[in-house]
Amino acid sequence: MRDESSGLRAEVVAVGTELLLGENVDTNSAWISSRFAEIGVDVFRHVTVGDNVVRLLAALRDAASRADAVVVTGGLGATQDDLTRFAVARLAGVDLERRADLVEHVEAHFARTGRPMPPRNRIQADLPAGARVLAPVGTAAGFAVEVDGTVIYCLPGVPTEMATMVDRDVVPDLAGRAGLATTVSRLVRTAGVSESGVAERCAGVVERLDAVGNPTVAFLASRGETRVRVTAKAGSREAALALVDPVVDEVVGLLGAAVVGLDGEGVEHAVGRQLRRLGWTLAVGESVTGGGVGARLVTVAGASDWFRGGVVAYTESVKTSLGGVPAQVLAREGAVSEAVAGALATGVRDRMGAEVGLAVLGVAGPALQAGRAVGTVCLGVALPEGPPRVRTVVLPSRSRTQIQEWATSVVLDHLRRALGAGAADPADPHDG
């Protein structure tokens, strides 16, 4: 029996034995729930099923008996264990039919990559009879079918392909079915202030909006950044933006120099803008982040105008030979130290002929390094004049990957502030 609560009800079925074995983490279901929450669709259950057509069919039958919409993610590939199309066809009581246009799409995809197409990939063009095609992003088409009043959306397990289809196909379709208003969200992105610190500064705004209910404000912290999401519902996108934009402006004013960008622009974009404004170029020396800083910087369009390059100086010999760190400084201070961070920033700056040098060193774990705790990160910025600006920060109780991602964001914000974008911010910088 279906739940009698009001509103449109959804469930998510994630498919893949690798999820049950713990080899992969199911991030798709959480993302789908978050996206649906933004448009007011309630997700009541997440279910994970291995690559078994009988168990998948049972899970789909159960979900369809309770929900108005079921989202299936995974199992649309070309291997023998990709069974979603078979289970959904059995649930709908129809046969699979091969779509000629999808065969052409898969063949063209392989032709563009210069690889021969395995004949088995043609099964990716097999969909339940009567299914509505959701245009493929890679080789796997998504599809939607109706079973006894429940719409079932089948999406690839690849997160980027899944997310594209949710935003492009599923959300608009669900919004239309539920008669939902248009929902618009914008992000204010900050660095150097904790989630609780950001929430404290915005407490007055949140309290005022809670009393109204539209727009809403949410706080999201990850990878050394805290995001403030402002969401509004209205009859049109323009009307929703008219509600959102004044709140975004107010939040930006409250958070001041902690704001690094809006929407899709992060701290690396702020760094690029500052360097361009000053007419300076940048060189990077990094150890603990293993190239993560350079990778973030080159995501900015036009980065070649101000980013000269970087050195991944992981060993002491490379810190000395390529990073320009004096051997006696390394021996005296230790590899993870402010002195070495400053020397590395200066060394890469001078050797690459840039105006600015940036360095990041640290201990990502799992064990102490020369007495320095796991999560210790040393930062250095060398500007055209004056001694390098160095700093040590510590992020305890995090995984190796989390420390590396956090260190990347922190060192970029350290540079942003050194370049003048955050100098007046009274916040508690980089408090994790």
By the 8 A CB rule, do 323 and 348 touch?
yes
Residues in a beta bridge with 309: 283
The pLDDT-based confidence of 237 (bands split at 50, 70, 90) is confident
The DSSP secondary structure of 330-349, one letter per residue, reads: HHHH-SSSHHHHHHHHHHHH
The pLDDT-based confidence of 250 (bands split at 50, 70, 90) is very high
d(CA 432, CA 428): 10
The DSSP secondary structure of 26-94, one letter per residue, reads: --HHHHHHHHHHHTTPEEEEEEEE-S-HHHHHHHHHHHHHH-SEEEEES--SSSTT--HHHHHHHHHT-
pLDDT at site 7 = 67
141-180: pLDDT as tens digits: 999 999 999 999 999 999 989 999 998 999 889 888 877 6
Place of tokens 């245009």: 135
State yes or no: cis peptide before 384, omega within 30 of 0. Answer: no
By the 8 A CB rule, do 287 and 319 touch?
yes
pLDDT at site 238 = 84
Rg of the chain on CA atoms, in Å: 26
Over range 392-417, report the average pLDDT: 90
Over range 186-198, report the average pLDDT: 90
Return the H-helix or E-strand segment holding 165: helix 159-165
pLDDT at site 431 = 42
By the 8 A CB rule, do 271 and 264 touch?
no
pLDDT at site 181 = 66
**Order of all β-strands in the sheet with 142-147:** 42-49, 9-15, 69-73, 150-155, 142-147, 132-134
The pLDDT-based confidence of 225 (bands split at 50, 70, 90) is confident
Which amino acid, one-letter code, is at 234? A
By the 8 A CB rule, do 58 and 190 touch?
no
| Cβ neighbours of residue 323 closer than 8 Å, sequence gap 6 or more | 285, 311, 313, 343, 344, 347, 348, 359
Residues in a beta bridge with 365: none
pLDDT at site 233 = 80
The DSSP secondary structure of 122-140, one letter per residue, reads: GGGGEEETTPEEE--SSSP
According to DSSP, residue 183 is labeled: E
